[in-house]
Chain A
């Protein structure tokens, strides 16, 4: 096994650093979902990961989202080496550093838009100056950022698909994450709503938010600064 290409600690501007990450599933025959993956994402970058289904896209997303552990290799997230962490610490890190945006939104249907956004702060100790009392105000602010302050009291089922996804993005922004990890964010949207979500991604990128978008849609990946392709578990940089 060749030594990892980076043996030094990543600097503060590196949000993601994958070093020789392998993921093998112990099925019969064994599935090699990720092979020798190296990836560095700098703060403020807008990266898209493209690839056909079965290429290892989901495994890469789960690894990046701390939902899955690599079989070998090192994963640094926002300056923390995650391999050695226990389940509880990974859970906590996931909640505080990563804002998830899912294809199916994952909004709670029986809670208002505002309550859905506030949920992001439920599972962690309040930060200094970000107490429980101010949570509603911060949720309103996050909703303003995605242009949905006027929908705060609505139930998700009264919103359009694009609005729902923007609520989910507001929820992801609420926890002030180091990156937004988006899994097919426009997969359930028509072209008009897709446009509104991509515009929002563009604005967030301009504000310095780190975005990692996994998609198979050209229109979506075209908006990213940088594109990597995954096939058969191998990652290749695409140059335009």
Chain B
């Protein structure tokens, strides 16, 4: 209805009026129009007219965006580090536990030769079986046969049996001497390997002179000392015997635990296959301890760190938005006269609203840029102090200013509406 109306203009073409650049006598009344560059420069001038106030107004947004960037940046950085540590040891360790007594089966659930079956699985790097029991968890061990009066030279230690591949499986090494071998096992030799702590307690530091230890009064020749144990660290204080010897003399015949080291990423698969290889048909009665999926671990860690601080950052953003809305509203009321003037100069309601909207959006954008920069700096500093590799998402660095601008835009909606609704007559009177 009200679009460009043909309006009769009296004798428009006669042009007897004074010369000059008056409105072209086209007979149409034009509509308000504004160059985008003018809109931008008017809004920018509005923001810069009160620089201190504008700077203070951005503070809420700066805080909110900074908090968000720090939260997301630090947690993704930290998450990566934590996952990295998982990878080193835990992510490749699989342990299969065998319940000590199987009521149904006549024989042992897992045989010592089962170790060989596991070693053939893809992804297995080393594997060893251990036999331990309640009865042999605290055996009195002496380093010599002579009991001097008043002197207690005996120590209480755990005695275990293990397959020859144990040093690799526990990621340890021989401090001195050698580990048990197949010959020892086949011959039922009365030999023993000591954990490095056990050796120190018994005063044995070298195996050159073939020292002996006495278990339940029986002498065993010490052939080596095992050190640097990373898995099954209780082995450091244990006496390790060949399975055959242990079965004969200590009643330690049944495998209770199988230690497996896998290639990186193979743990999950090996954890599924190992029980089947060890005890076909009875795999359900074995308990498998495998590392959590690294991806899930990462997600879990990030979830923990993020939750609270994300909420904190969002709350700051809301507070920032309220701050911008408040100050813009005050500005609108202070500038009623200016609004009236602009309407008198031919500005439409929409153009007035647009200017205030661009002003508040600019303030939000400014807050977002400063906040993103501060956040990134803090993430880098935290990473440097903790000696982490900072993980910075480009989308985060670019998205933060956009988020700030959006906050400003939303905050400016109501004040702009107020500005545009002002009647020019009332606005000019003030």
Binding site for B on A (CB under 8 A): 9-14, 43-44, 62, 65, 67-68, 78-81, 84-89, 91-98, 100, 102, 104, 106, 108-111, 115, 119-120, 122-130, 132, 171, 175-176, 178, 208
Contacts and interface: CB of A to CB of B under 8 A. Distances in A.
A92 B30 contact: yes
Contacts of B18: 43-44, 208
A11 B32 contact: no
Given A85-B7, A86-B1, A86-B2, 14 more contacts: A10-B10, A14-B10, A88-B32, A88-B348, A91-B347, A95-B347, A96-B23, A96-B30, A96-B346, A100-B345, A106-B341, A123-B351, A175-B345, A178-B22
A175 B347 CA distance: 13
A99 to B, nearest CB: 9
Sorting the interface of chain B by its residue count into under 10, 10 to 19, 20 to 34 or 35 or more gives 35 or more
Q: Which 7 A-B pairs have the closest CB atoms?
A: A95-B346, A86-B2, A110-B49, A79-B9, A125-B33, A123-B346, A106-B341
Contacts of B342: 119, 123
A123 B347 contact: yes
Contacts of A95: 32, 344-347
B344 A65 contact: yes
Interface in B1-42: 1-2, 4-5, 7-12, 14-18, 20-25, 29-35, 37-38, 42
Contacts of B11: 11-12
Contacts of A122: 34-35, 38, 42, 345, 347
Nearest to A9: B10
Contact of A127 (B4, B24, B337): B24
A102 B338 CA distance: 12
Contacts of A91: 32, 343, 346-348
A79 B17 CA distance: 12
B172 to A, nearest CB: 77
B391 to A, nearest CB: 44
B424 interface: yes
B11 to A, nearest CB: 4
Interface string B45-74: 100111000000000000000000000000
A12 B14 contact: yes
Contact of B7 (A81, A125, A127): A81
Contacts of B2: 85-89
Given A12-B15, A176-B20, A176-B21, A88 B346 contact: no
A216 B14 CA distance: 38
19 contacts: A12-B14, A79-B25, A80-B29, A85-B29, A88-B31, A88-B32, A89-B31, A91-B347, A96-B346, A100-B345, A102-B341, A119-B342, A123-B32, A123-B33, A123-B351, A125-B30, A130-B21, A175-B346, A208-B18
